[in-house]
Amino acid sequence: MSQAQIIDGKATAERIRAEVAVEVAALKAEHGLTPGLAVVLVGEDPASQVYVRSKGEHSKAVGMHSVTHLLAADTRQDDLLALVETLNRDPAIHGILVQLPLPKGLDEKAVITAIDPAKDVDGLHPMNIGLLAQGQKALVPCTPLGCMIMLSDALGDLTGKRAVVVGRSVLVGKPIAQLLLAADCTVTIAHSRTRDLAAVCREADILVAAVGRPQMIKADWIKPGAAVIDVGINRVPFRDPVKAAAGKTKIVGDVAYKEASAVAGFITPVPGGVGLMTVACLLRNTLTAAKRIAGLEA
């Protein structure tokens, strides 16, 4: 039995960043415009700190204007909303990202809704969600956008393919279902309450796993030759008793990768797959936002 072709997130992300860098340089040279990204981090969550630092470094590397606002965990809602409003009015900022989750006591929905939809590079503002659902031009959440780029690279035209999305989150499951519909796929959104979930998954030419359960999707859930996009990032203990006793963990996806690779036609690894695409697509969204705000989008 042949092994699935690996969809390399690292190589694809590098290509996107290189393309963005070329376009940023052209915007500067031809229009005197430098796309600007502002990232807001409230509190000291270690994982969020790593993500924010990565976003800042990558945005600077492609030639963008990058600012990071680090706020204390006890920041008041009014102060956070005032910062968002200041960034909304700042002409040097084209993309605003408030790192989630926010500390307890802060209203995430209110903060997201306060962001100017034209600068909402996370694609979570209700207006962008609504435009996406209507098939209109919108800023799209970065992870689903990355998944679609990987699928298009691997499969080409997606017209007529049966897609199953396991997971119904606002951040991944629902938007990627909308994007797959826009690509003329026939789409099913499945979830923890779906009856005979394995049988539903076996119908998929494209299977997107975004449920947050380690290695839940097994080989016998996958249609032979299907494209499998694993969005899951789960920390689990090592089986090695020495490493486990030391409290060490490893990252795995929602798909049992080794056995699934023997059935699928294409598959994304974890790590090394979708996760690397998210920051690259954030840069692309910031570039898109800058063009639209300036009236320069083709």
- Residues 99-132: tens digit of each pLDDT: 999 999 999 999 999 999 999 999 999 999 999 9
DSSP states along 38-96? EEEEES--HHHHHHHHHHHHHHHHTT-EEEEEEE-TT--HHHHHHHHHHHHH-TT--EE
Instruction: Give the pLDDT band (50/70/90) at residue 281.
Output: very high
Using the predicted structure, report yes or no on whether residue 1 has a pLDDT greater than 70.
Answer: no
- The confidence score (pLDDT) of residue 242 equals 74
Give the burial string for 178-200 (b: 16+ CB within 10 Å, else e). Answer: bbbeebebebbbbeeebeebeeb
pTM listed for this prediction: 0.93
Helix/strand/coil for 230: strand
- CA–CA separation, 222 and 216 (whole Å): 12
Mean local confidence (pLDDT), 66-78 = 96
Residue 157 contacts by C-beta under 8 Å, 6 or more apart in sequence?
none
Q: Which domains does the chain have, with CATH numbers?
A: 31-116 (3.40.50.10860), 142-277 (3.40.50.720)
The catalytic residues are: 55, 99, 122
Place of tokens 């997130």: 9
Mean local confidence (pLDDT), 163-176 = 96
β-strands 249-252, 266-267 pairing: unpaired
Count other C-beta atoms under 10 Å from residue 50's C-beta.
10
